[in-house]
């Protein structure tokens, strides 16, 4: 099982900064889903910025959500609490 999201920050250009339970941080690009069905509403940046964490996934007020496994597997990892500096 992949780690779940514990915190999310919306970024510019329809990206999400994701903090995973295992300490990794990833960037998930939502632009590929903006033209599909229920996700079209995310084109409104004010609405997009209302993203929250729900049961390890990310979700918006009108019940759009993205599966935790998709978020983990498809995000670009940028940091980890396990990364060594120096």
Name 78's Cβ contacts closer than 8 Å, sequence gap at least 6. 25, 26, 27
Residue 86 has pLDDT above 90, yes or no: no
CATH of segment(s) 5-80 = 3.30.2020.10
Contact 4, 56 (CB under 8 A): yes
User: How far is 28 from 76, CA to CA, in rounded Å?
Assistant: 6
45-77 residue pLDDT tens: 999 999 999 999 999 999 999 999 999 999 999
SS3 57: strand
Give just the sign of the alpha carbon dihedral 18, 20, 24, 30.
negative
Q: Quick check: 84 pLDDT over 80?
A: no
pTM: 0.90
How many other CB atoms are found less than 10 A from the CB of residue 66?
21
The domain segmentation of the chain, as residue ranges, is 5-80
pLDDT band, residue 41 (cuts 50/70/90):
very high
Q: Looking up tokens 């998930």, which residue turns up?
A: 28
């Amino acid at each position: 099982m992949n780690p779940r999201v514990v915190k999310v920050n919306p970024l510019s250009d329809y990206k999400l900064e994701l903090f995973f339970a295992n300490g990794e941080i990833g960037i998930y690009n939502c632009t590929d889903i903006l033209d599909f069905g229920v996700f079209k509403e995310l084109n409104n940046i004010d609405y997009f910025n209302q993203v929250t964490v729900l049961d390890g996934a990310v979700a918006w007020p009108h019940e759009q959500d993205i599966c935790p496994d998709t978020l983990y597997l498809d995000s670009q990892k940028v940091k980890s609490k396990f990364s060594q500096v120096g």
